[in-house]
Amino acid sequence: MNAPRIFITSAGIISPFGKGKDAILPFLQKNVPALRPLSLFPTPSSPLPVGEVSSPLPAEDMPRTHLLAMAAAEEAMKTITVPPDAIIVGTTTGGMARTEELLKKEETNAAAYQYHSAGSVAEVMARRFGCQGTVLAVSTACSSGLAALKLGMDLIRTGKAACVLAGGADSLCRLTYYGFHSLQLTDPTGARPFDRNRHGMSVGEGAAMFVLTAGEEPPPNAIAELLGAGLTCDAHHAATPHPHGEGTRQAMEQALAEAGLSPQDVNYINLHGTGTPENDLAEGKAIFSLFQGEEIPALSSLKGAWGHSLAASGAMGAVVAAMAIQNGFIPPNTGLKTTDPDIMLTPETTFIRKNISCAMVNALGFGGNNAVMVMGKPERQGRPSPLRREQPFFVHGRSMLTGWGNTAETFARLDAEAAIRGTVPKEAMHANLPAKTVRRLKRLSRLALSLSISAAAQTSDNFPEAVFFGTRWGSLSETSDFLKALFETEEQLGSPTDFIGSVHNAPAGQVAVHFQAKGPNITITGGDATFEQTLFAADRSGVNTLLLIGADEYHEHLTPLFAPGTHMTDGGGAFLLSRERKGAVASLIPIFEAFPLADEEVIDALVSHLGGPSLIQEKFDLILAGFPPDTGEQCQKQKEIFLRLTNYRHPLIDYRSILGHFGSVSAVAAVISVLSMEKGRMPRAFGGGESNPSHGKSILILNFGKHVTALEVSPCEGNRAP
């Protein structure tokens, strides 16, 4: 059976050109940039030219990224009469622009920081448009917007959704403005992508959102068809691309292979093209290598016209590519005066009318993340994609770090009926890390890398091809240190190392480099079900062997502001997962995820997905349930509905009351569940012992609150440890 085709039936955009698609064409035709000196916040020296949005934003009390996302989404949803099945947003800054202002004023009211989380961008959109399905944020730096579209495609191609709202959004803020300047990657005269005299990028902002619709034939309102996508990682450096663009080329090859097309089928490439010397050169080498001496299609970068909008850039480029397909044109590479002979490419320097049947869009980001999308006219189609069959992930390695230490130390203390308090001890976190790595990295990256090394060390049969990382808050240490130094020097100095490490996907990039994992490198950031959401994303990706990580750090200043009332705990869990059952100790099966705008309706759907009351009683004689403290009343209501609908009589244990409250604590609960399969019992803190009720049965891990999820952990018979 073939997967449904995926059509763009609507698109919305807000950019430095204005609001809506109609605002874009005049700028492109005239080939004039919309860059101008920064005005959103004062700077100690002459402000750099940026791509700043001047159009009115929705009159709501939310951070700028949220408002940009909402403006683009409202345009995309104008003709849609039903809620989307899922919402996926790519973002790097989230509520950072507002958080910076609050921190600068030394605001201590935690309620003021309620929109800091990158995941909250997707959540406000879900409430606005009534989505109760998958709602998540992907944060893979500047490839985030296209990565979000790829995850939306995966949802449709696995039959999990028929209509998805997906795209990218980012606003200008001090962290990115001064961060790129600290790396000496900004051009004081404005970006000139692919020009021989280019000196750097211009930071920008904006948002672009798409309605993706499944179908066998193009609907009347189809703008373009998404044909294929590729996600890879250079596994080379935290901020510098592979010098020959190998990962970029591989992502382009994957996208074309998924579409059933050859390079010669492409008429136009929307380049990433930031204007930085190394990035443009690497992308140029990738394209030259892909076409192997054959004629290279028309190509151009838009970042000389409206700046680099980070997570939004790929999605905004995709809007222009879709417009080029629909209206027949090639946009100019604004800022290019003299081509660089070392790049061996000749981007277009004028607006050209030309029929475009197939376009490619590139988006490349920190951590070596590469995302490529191929789209075409709605009436054309490449090779049909097969409908992906569901296959469980089997556990070949697992590890955890908690306030009690490593995996063995944590299980032993839980077996002594001791609840976890405190942060991961340095000696446990650093035990398997080289001294130079400890010096180079800060807390969250150390956690993620240490967890991954421990999980992968348990087998030599499987080597991870991909990394999927879930974190609620990202790298708090680097973010705090960068902003602290910035404010203390009256916005004169910021650490380039801290800026590179501040992006949410920095830990996943470090893991990829260590293992040379060159497949998809995805970081999901959301609420307290981030780990489960990351497993769902991995499950739909079609990847066979991967590292799945969930980790969060406690920061003495920022955590109480972002997550008030929680204990001083942190840590995480990691798994080496494979579709191969042989040698596995257990399986991880994602079952259900929803954003509950109506609790009764969603819990009823949860019970149905679990097979109904009778099967739940028979299959799961132990449930580990998470009750995040910031949604206590909602959690209790959902629990009561669940118990009423199922009449569940076996133990239902609040694992957070034992393991502590941090964003990805469910990863620790999953590791403990797998260990119980190996040992034949849960630790005594969970009511275990030799007569543990989960012996030989599956364990259900539920998360209640703003995100309702269900994850099944099942034993693989014959693989239990003595």
Regarding whether 109 and 147 lie in a shared domain, the answer is: yes
Per DSSP, the residues of 477-508 read HHHHHHHHHHHHTTSS---HHHHHHHSTTHHH
Q: What is the pLDDT, as a whole number, of residue 718?
A: 47
Q: Which residues contact 250 (CB under 8 A, 6 or more apart)?
A: 230, 232, 370, 518
Task: Name the DSSP letter for residue 104.
Answer: H
Q: What is the pLDDT, as a whole number, of residue 361?
A: 98
pLDDT at 388 over 60: no
CA distance 499 to 176: 8
pLDDT digit string (tens) for 308-347?
A: 999 999 999 999 999 999 999 999 999 999 999 999 899 9
User: Of the given ranges (159-168, 236-245, 642-651), which has the lowest mean pLDDT?
Assistant: 236-245
User: Of the given ranges (221-235, 482-496, 706-720), which has the lowest mean pLDDT?
Assistant: 706-720
User: Of the given ranges (91-95, 409-413, 518-522, 689-693), which has the lowest mean pLDDT?
Assistant: 689-693
Residue 387 lies in a domain: no
CA distance 707 to 709: 6
> Which CATH number goes with the domain that contains 437?
3.40.47.10
pLDDT at 381 over 70: no
Regarding whether 431 and 356 lie in a shared domain, the answer is: no
pLDDT digit string (tens) for 613-650?
A: 999 999 998 999 999 988 889 999 999 999 999 999 99
Regarding whether 680 and 637 lie in a shared domain, the answer is: yes
Backbone angles phi, psi at 642, to 5 degrees: -60, -45
CA distance 699 to 622: 6
Percent of the chain with pLDDT over 70: 96
Residue 253, SS3 per DSSP: helix
Q: What is the pLDDT, as a whole number, of residue 350?
A: 97
**What's the pTM value of the predicted model, to 2 decimals?**
0.96
Regarding whether 412 and 347 lie in a shared domain, the answer is: no
Average pLDDT over residues 362-390: 82
SS (H, E, C) 528-552: CCHHHHHHHHHHHHCCCEEEEEEEE
pLDDT digit string (tens) for 523-555?
A: 999 889 999 999 999 999 989 999 999 999 999
Residue 7, SS3 per DSSP: strand
The CA dihedral of 42, 47, 51, 56, to the nearest 10 degrees, is 30
Regarding whether 626 and 484 lie in a shared domain, the answer is: yes
Q: What is the pLDDT, as a whole number, of residue 360?
A: 98
pLDDT at 153 over 50: yes
Residue 87 lies in a domain: yes
Per DSSP, the residues of 133-171 read SEEEEE--GGGHHHHHHHHHHHHHHTTS-SEEEEEEEE-
Q: What is the pLDDT, as a whole number, of residue 566?
A: 72
User: Of the given ranges (4-18, 368-382, 407-421, 604-618), which has the lowest mean pLDDT?
Assistant: 368-382
Regarding whether 409 and 353 lie in a shared domain, the answer is: no
Domain boundary among 341, 376, 411: 376
Give the pLDDT band (50/70/90) at residue 3: confident
Regarding whether 573 and 531 lie in a shared domain, the answer is: yes
Residue 720 lies in a domain: no
- Residue pair 662/552 in contact (Cβ under 8 Å)? The answer is yes
Q: What is the pLDDT, as a whole number, of residue 720?
A: 40
Which amino acid is present at 407?
A: T
Residue 271, SS3 per DSSP: coil
Domain boundary among 346, 376, 406: 376
Q: Which residues contact 106 (CB under 8 A, 6 or more apart)?
A: none
pLDDT at 692 over 60: no
Average pLDDT over residues 54-69: 96
Residue 388 lies in a domain: no
Regarding whether 523 and 493 lie in a shared domain, the answer is: yes
Q: What is the pLDDT, as a whole number, of residue 293?
A: 76
Regarding whether 268 and 231 lie in a shared domain, the answer is: yes
Q: What is the pLDDT, as a whole number, of residue 284?
A: 95
Residue 383 lies in a domain: no
Regarding whether 519 and 470 lie in a shared domain, the answer is: yes
Domain boundary among 376, 410, 435: 376
Average pLDDT over residues 500-517: 96
Q: What is the pLDDT, as a whole number, of residue 721?
A: 37
What is the H or E stretch that residue 616 is in?
helix 613-619
Regarding whether 351 and 207 lie in a shared domain, the answer is: yes
Residue 84 lies in a domain: yes
Percent of the chain with pLDDT over 90: 88
pLDDT digit string (tens) for 463-500?
A: 899 999 999 999 999 999 999 999 999 999 899 999 99
Residue 381 lies in a domain: no
Pairing of strands 18-19, 36-37: unpaired
Q: How many separate domains does the chain show?
A: 2
Q: What is the pLDDT, as a whole number, of residue 399?
A: 98
- Residue pair 65/24 in contact (Cβ under 8 Å)? The answer is no
Average pLDDT over residues 390-395: 87
Residue 385 lies in a domain: no
Regarding whether 698 and 569 lie in a shared domain, the answer is: yes
**In sequence order, what E strands does 234-357 have?**
268-270, 298-300, 329-330, 352-353
Mutual angle of helices 476-488 and 443-456, in 10-degree steps: 160
Rounded mean pLDDT of the chain? 94
What is the residue range of 591's domain? 393-715
User: Of the given ranges (25-29, 193-197, 451-455, 457-461), which has the lowest mean pLDDT?
Assistant: 457-461
